[in-house]
Amino acid sequence: MYRLTLSGSKWVFLGLAALGLAGCKHYRPTETGFLSDYSQLVKDPIHLNHAIGFQRAMTHDATHEAVCQVDSFYIEPVQWRVDPETRGGKDPERQAILTSKLEQALIEQLSTIKPIVPQPGPKTATIRSAITTVRYSRPFTNLMLTATLFTPVGIGPVFFGGGAIEAEAIGPDGRQMAAVTSASSGGWFDIIGFYTKAGHAKKAMWRDAKELRQALDH
């Protein structure tokens, strides 16, 4: 009788490939109906973020003329549109953490273009945003898998997290200036994120906010 066996390196390759395909399924831009207009969104190429995780986005870039007519940004409270039946949607404590994280990221990113104001004025653009997808890492499972690094199996931590948002800038005339629907996963080299439940998701909020800034930065 012959038995098919796989070397440790092949197990690693197969494990990463399978999880990479699973990640592609869950980290995609969403279209939930939150944005006022989806018709002008253009699909961006898949790219790697700084922690070697995948990011995908659809973007409507603002024109230079539209940005010049705005003197400030007003950021509305971040909405939570995560499916309550998913694991990410059943955690109210981290809901507050992640909405706050996205708001902070929007302030940080957009304040480099125009001042952030507490109330809209006649030349203020309003920023609307919603978190639409959240996936958390599995710290305990990743910790257990870390032990396999010292065995012939050698898988290591593989259950990463991430998230997706939809956001838009509405000009003083009520029309959409720019918009993004962006999804970002944790990275293979973002080690700490594997062992904190929302670590990768927090970083996804920052990366997705950066997408909106880039859509407005003309």
Each residue's pLDDT tens digit, 174-205? 999 999 999 988 766 777 666 576 778 888 89
Confidence label for 8 from pLDDT (cuts 50, 70 and 90): very low
What beta strand segments (E) does the chain contain?
Answer: 42-43, 47-48, 54-60, 72-75, 79-80, 124-135, 162-170, 176-185
Q: What is the mean pLDDT of the chain?
A: 81
Closest among 58, 75, 62 to 109, alpha carbons compared: 75
CATH of region 28-216, choose from 3.30.160, 2.60.40, 1.20.120, 1.10.10? 3.30.160
Q: What DSSP character marks residue 45?
A: P
Give the confidence band of 21 by pLDDT, cuts at 50, 70, 90.
very low
Over residues 31-47, the mean pLDDT reads 92
- Grouping H, G, I as helix, E, B as strand and the rest as coil, residue 176 is strand
Six-digit token string for 7: 């070397």
Span 55-88, pLDDT tens digits = 889 999 999 999 999 999 999 999 999 988 777 6
Using a cut of 0.85, tell me whether the model's pTM lies above it.
no
Q: Where are the domains of the chain?
A: 28-216
